Amino acid sequence: MICKKKDKPGEGEYNKMEELMVAEKTPTFEVKQKSVTVFAPATVANVVCGFDVLGFAVNAPGDEVVMRVTDKPGITISKITGDNGRLPMDPAKNTVSVSVKHYLESIGRSDLGLDIELHKKMPIGSGLGSSSASTVAGLFAAKTILGDDRDPIALLPFAMKGEEMACGQGHADNVAPALFGGFVLIRSYEPLDVVRLPHPKDLWCAIVFPDVDVPTREARQIIRKKVDMKDAVTQWGNVAGLVSGLFMQDIDLIGRSMKDVLVEPVRSMLIPGFYQMREMSMELGAVSFGISGSGPSVFAFTRDEATAQKITEKLQSFLEGMKIDSFSYVSTINDAGPKVIG
Amino acid sequence: MICKKKDKPGEGEYNKMEELMVAEKTPTFEVKQKSVTVFAPATVANVVCGFDVLGFAVNAPGDEVVMRVTDKPGITISKITGDNGRLPMDPAKNTVSVSVKHYLESIGRSDLGLDIELHKKMPIGSGLGSSSASTVAGLFAAKTILGDDRDPIALLPFAMKGEEMACGQGHADNVAPALFGGFVLIRSYEPLDVVRLPHPKDLWCAIVFPDVDVPTREARQIIRKKVDMKDAVTQWGNVAGLVSGLFMQDIDLIGRSMKDVLVEPVRSMLIPGFYQMREMSMELGAVSFGISGSGPSVFAFTRDEATAQKITEKLQSFLEGMKIDSFSYVSTINDAGPKVIG
């Protein structure tokens, strides 16, 4: 049922990606600039009802990568800040350098020497696509240095390699929105098929990260392997409603579709005060509330900045009452994806 | 999370429906014409990946109801044609009269006398929403006679009453598209929340009904109660892809999203030669192929009428080779819903 490039003219992302991934068509890229600084956005995967298939990018927080061309072939990491020493400096073990290495190999430029400075501007293990933001910033920096002007989708397979290293599975629901900005649907993994979705411009996002430990691998493992068909039907009704709401710019529909009867009931157990935080957020006027990725960060959609601010203040003071440190962010949806900032 | 009418101005179908269903707001309707003839379209529920949440209407086949105001209060059925005597003439047992009765009660017009002639122009038990088409035609006829100019969504609860009688469950994935035309998403049943979806104008539908017996109740009972989370994720990725394709007018995306890993593998066993028919259809250029509702009818989307014609001819001759009688229909998507034709 899959429309192959050779049969039909390409209409969607799928065909574009297939074309970009064909190695023999890849042009040779030459160094266009000696250094660059790139920002890439944090992302909220799942978007409550769309487990493993939906994600969106925010304007804050995000990570920064400074990349410089060096004299010696190979990738080095000279500095990592903001990680409290948690990330590996070894280029063979760091998701950013590994992804960049795969990218350089794919375009026949393994001869190139690149040095990476990674500045973490967001917490690690927060459920906000921390590794994706770093990886996408690194890949976009390399692409920029080489003047590779192909669609960013050409970078997706390499970003996914990084995710595989970081989370044990090559998911795309963080890297794809970090790479493209906006909302992204991963319709299928085999073959990989991503669809960029529109969204209402006046949608605000309040994010609160309670600083408790919920490792992605473990958060995945507690999810049930079998589910009731009845619940699955409820879930895909909501996924379809959310996607429709995004296309229709219907914030009410988006809000009432963002219900998760399958994953949230389990994962929320790892987040202290999850249901109280939902209630507080909804009472303050949130459109919807849920877990970002595998948590422990939570997020709420709102119609304006002031409501988002009120929600983050309320939730942070609630968490403080439970002696839990937290970080918060208020942002609109990021539409640009990674961005050259220096 | 549900936006109540009193809190926010109505933006979606949900709010409109809620408003229309509030009994005290219902105006009194008077007889505006003495008789009417209404056509209502057949429908394809599920649309392969959207089990219980998606459906669309076609221009052919469909059913016709002739309704006349009578002198005596109550509903009578004077004639049913095209059913080979299978449908009850008793107004207390026929889905059309029962639905119309509920509708009249809801608007305080149980005093009215109405006679129904039902002309079945499509096979019964075909998986094409036969009972929905009849019910919607009946309700729309009553609405027209009474000059009830509210949005057709006001009729949905009464049409669902008819479905409950016909199929044992009050599903809306046939009645909603029959009532509105086009593609319809039933996001949720409790509360009932329907969303009308757009579609590419150049989408054709080839339908073939193999005349074998697959009762809806039994076809529902063979569906598994538990499913793998992994398969459920695949399914809602495809549902999201199909909905996106409808909004984006991207027929390739629609085609590659129309895969069902949960229901079709089971239900297809009740349809002789299902996988051969799929292969034939795809080879002839179908965009997608699957079961209509609970079957045994199958349908294919195509980009033009000629391809749809070729597919119906090929499948009918294949079924003939297996000594199975069949009917076929070639149609564009019906956008009008029920229509006054006399």
Residues from chain A contacting residue B226 (CB–CB below 8 Å): 226-229
For residue B140, give both structure tokens.
């729309």
A282 beta partners: none
**Does residue B167 carry a pLDDT above 70?**
no
Query: In CATH terms, is domain A13-196+336-340 a member of 3.30.230.10?
Result: yes
Closest CB to B187 among A8, A187, A237: A237
Query: Among A268-277, B126-135, B209-218, B261-270, whose mean pLDDT is lowest?
Result: B209-218
- Indicate if the alpha-carbon torsion angle B264, B267, B273, B277 is positive or negative: negative
- Whole-number percent of chain A with pLDDT over 90: 81
**Does residue A217 carry a pLDDT above 60?**
yes
**Closest approach of chain A CAs to the CA of B37, in angstroms?**
35
Q: Which H, E and C letters describe chain B, residue by residue?
A: CCCCCCCCCCCCHHHHHHHHHCHHHCCCCCCCCCEEEEEEEEEEECCCCCCCCEEEEEEEEEEEEEEEEECCCEEEEEEEECCCCCCCCCCCCCHHHHHHHHHHHHCCCCCCEEEEEEECCCCCCCCCCHHHHHHHHHHHHHHHHCCCCCCHHHHHHHHHHHHHHHHCCCCCCCHHHHHHCCEEEEEEECCEEEEEECCCCCCEEEEEEECCCCCHHHHHHCCCCEEEHHHHHHHHHHHHHHHHHHHHCCHHHHHHHCCCCCCHHHHHHHCCCHHHHHHHHHHCCCCEEEECCCCCCEEEEECCHHHHHHHHHHHHHHHHHCCCCEEEEEEEECCCCCEECC
Q: How far apart are CA A188 and CA A195, in angstroms?
A: 10
Three-state secondary structure call for residue A261:
coil
- Predicted confidence (pLDDT) per residue in A74-113, tens digit: 999 999 999 999 999 999 999 999 999 999 999 999 999 9
Contact between B301 and B205 (Cβ < 8 Å): yes
Closest CA to A293 of A118, A211, A172: A172
Q: Is B170 exposed, middle or buried (0-12, 13-18, 19+ CB in 10 A)?
A: middle
Indicate the domain borders of chain A.
13-196+336-340, 204-332
The helix or strand, by DSSP H or E, that contains position A79, with its residue range, turns out to be strand A74-81
Closest CB to B256 among A14, A186, A251: A14
Q: Which amino acid is at B111?
A: D
The pLDDT of residue A7: 34
Contact between A286 and A206 (Cβ < 8 Å): yes
Q: How far apart are CA B6 and CA B15, in angstroms?
A: 10
Query: Among A6-15, A103-112, A246-255, B47-56, whose mean pLDDT is lowest?
Result: A6-15
Q: Which residue has the tokens 């991207």?
A: B250
Query: In CATH terms, is domain B204-332 a member of 3.20.20.60?
Result: no
The CA-atom distances, in angstroms, between B229 and each of A30, A127, B69 are 46, 21, 54
Q: How far apart are CA B265 and CA A309, in angstroms?
A: 49
The pLDDT of residue A25: 56
Closest CB to B244 among A2, A243, A288: A243
**How sure is the predictor about B22, in pLDDT bands with cuts at 50, 70 and 90?**
very low
Q: Does the interface predicted TM-score (ipTM) exceed 0.85? A: yes
Residues from chain A contacting residue B230 (CB–CB below 8 Å): 225
- Predicted confidence (pLDDT) per residue in A103-157, tens digit: 999 999 999 999 999 999 999 989 999 999 999 999 999 999 999 999 999 999 9
**How sure is the predictor about A301, in pLDDT bands with cuts at 50, 70 and 90?**
very high
- Predicted confidence (pLDDT) per residue in A154-173, tens digit: 999 999 988 887 766 668 89
Cβ-defined contact of B53 to A240 (cutoff 8 Å):
yes
- Predicted confidence (pLDDT) per residue in A27-37, tens digit: 689 999 999 99
Residues from chain B contacting residue A1 (CB–CB below 8 Å): 255-256, 258-259, 282, 288-289
Which of A187-196, A212-221, B207-216 has maximum average pLDDT?
A187-196
Tell me if residue B264 is catalytic: no
Contact between B192 and B163 (Cβ < 8 Å): no
- The residue of B17, B202, B221, B233 whose CB has the most chain A CBs within 10 angstroms, and thus the best one to mutate to test that interface, is B233
Query: Among A159-173, A217-231, A311-325, B110-124, whose mean pLDDT is lowest?
Result: A159-173
Q: Is B127 annotated among the ligand-binding residues?
A: yes
**Does residue A286 carry a pLDDT above 60?**
yes
The CA-atom distances, in angstroms, between B179 and each of A16, A117, B31, B33, B171 are 38, 60, 22, 21, 13
Q: How far apart are CA B258 and CA A238, in angstroms?
A: 18
Cβ-defined contact of B228 to A228 (cutoff 8 Å):
no
**Does residue B6 carry a pLDDT above 70?**
no
- The residue of B228, B244, B251 whose CB has the most chain A CBs within 10 angstroms, and thus the best one to mutate to test that interface, is B244
Per the prediction, chain B carries an average pLDDT of 90
Strands B74-81 and B113-119: parallel
Q: Which amino acid is at A184?
A: V
**Closest approach of chain A CAs to the CA of B161, in angstroms?**
21
**Does residue A208 carry a pLDDT above 60?**
yes
